[in-house]
Amino acid sequence: MSRPRIALTVGDPAGIGPEIVAKAAADPAVRAVCEPVIFSATPAAEIRPGELSAAAGQAAYDTLVSAVQAARRGEVAAIATAPINKLAWAKAGLPWKGHTDLLAHLCDVRRVAMLFHAPQLKVVLMTVHVPLCEVPALLTAELVGETIHLTHTALAQFGIARPRLALAGLNPHAGESGLLGLEDEAVLAPAVAAARAAGVDISGPFPADTVFVRASRGEFDCVLACYHDQGLIPVKLLAFGQAVNVTIGLPIIRTSVDHGTAFDIAGQGVADAGSMIAAVTLAAEMAGRR
């Protein structure tokens, strides 16, 4: 069988993206499973390693747009992205806060979610880059229900035909029957009941201080987290450098690294490409299942 062509985007050219993409593209494990194709924009003269700039933000945007267009035309089977810098995008006047919302826009889909895939744990975030104080209002029955459905459907891409899902509670002790907050009983529990009635194997909401441990020990295939750090702290504690960010809900396959642009070491040749290698090989694996 021919190996799938996987697009590797360099992300912010002032960060470690170009270095880790080059290392990943040359890695024997990557070349064994796919044909890597590097996407990068022509660097502007003012872009220097480790320096935040609008030019770098625009270059990262242009690179991603080109890769998405190639994926939608069928020229590549998937996209694996190196990190962008949100402040650089803001300096370039771009309205998107990161890859995920831009990908949804470029692919014309309304609801996507971030799934973090690691050997020990899989986590989906129901809210992402928003202030913590805004999270309770964002956790509507519609959002929770649609994210449960996205997660249930997406796990087939990882060879999990009948996923066992768990929902992490928002409040301490999942609200303690309303004593420590009302959202768990008022919003999360009814969403779980509705999903179970529709045939989804999901339980919860469970106290967040134990549900990730239970999942890492094999009781659940994936945990849905209420907010960014609730889900990413356990993933990065267990599997930093191995975890892969997968955007679910898109018509194309997109994976990414679990870290940022690391401006402090950009251009020094010391960046670890482990997460980029994991992102590319997972993208190839997912493409093979389609």
Res 64 pLDDT > 70 = yes
Is residue 109 classed as helix, strand or coil in its secondary structure? coil
- Domain locations along the chain: 1-109+250-290, 111-240
For residues 41 and 145, the model is more confident at: 145
Question: Which of 3.30.450.20, 3.40.718.10, 3.40.50.720, 3.40.640.10 is the CATH number of 111-240?
Answer: 3.40.718.10
* Secondary structure (DSSP) of 154-172: HGGGGT-SS--EEEE-SSG
> What is residue 72's predicted lDDT score, i.e. its pLDDT?
97
Q: Are 34 and 3 in contact (CB under 8 A)?
A: yes
> What is residue 81's predicted lDDT score, i.e. its pLDDT?
97
Between CA 246 and CA 256 the distance in angstroms is 6
The CATH architecture annotation of domain 1-109+250-290 reads 3-Layer(aba) Sandwich (3.40)
Query: Strand 244-248 and strand 113-117: pairing?
Result: antiparallel
The β-bridge partners of 165 are 202, 222
> What is residue 45's predicted lDDT score, i.e. its pLDDT?
78
Pick from 133-137, 142-146, 181-185, 239-243: least confident:
239-243
Work out the average pLDDT over 45-57: 92
Res 240 pLDDT > 90 = no
- Summarize pLDDT for 281-290 with one digit per residue, the tens: 999 999 988 7
> What is residue 117's predicted lDDT score, i.e. its pLDDT?
94
- Summarize pLDDT for 176-218 with one digit per residue, the tens: 999 999 999 999 999 999 999 999 999 999 999 999 999 999 9
Work out the average pLDDT over 72-80: 97
pLDDT more than 90, % of the chain = 89
Work out the average pLDDT over 118-135: 94
> What is residue 118's predicted lDDT score, i.e. its pLDDT?
92
Provide the pLDDT confidence category of residue 1 given band limits of 50, 70 and 90.
low
The span from the first CA to the last CA of the chain, in angstroms, equals 14
Between CA 137 and CA 186 the distance in angstroms is 12
Q: Do domains 1-109+250-290 and 111-240 have the same CATH topology?
A: yes
- Summarize pLDDT for 86-119 with one digit per residue, the tens: 999 999 999 998 899 999 999 999 999 999 999 8
Provide the pLDDT confidence category of residue 153 given band limits of 50, 70 and 90.
very high
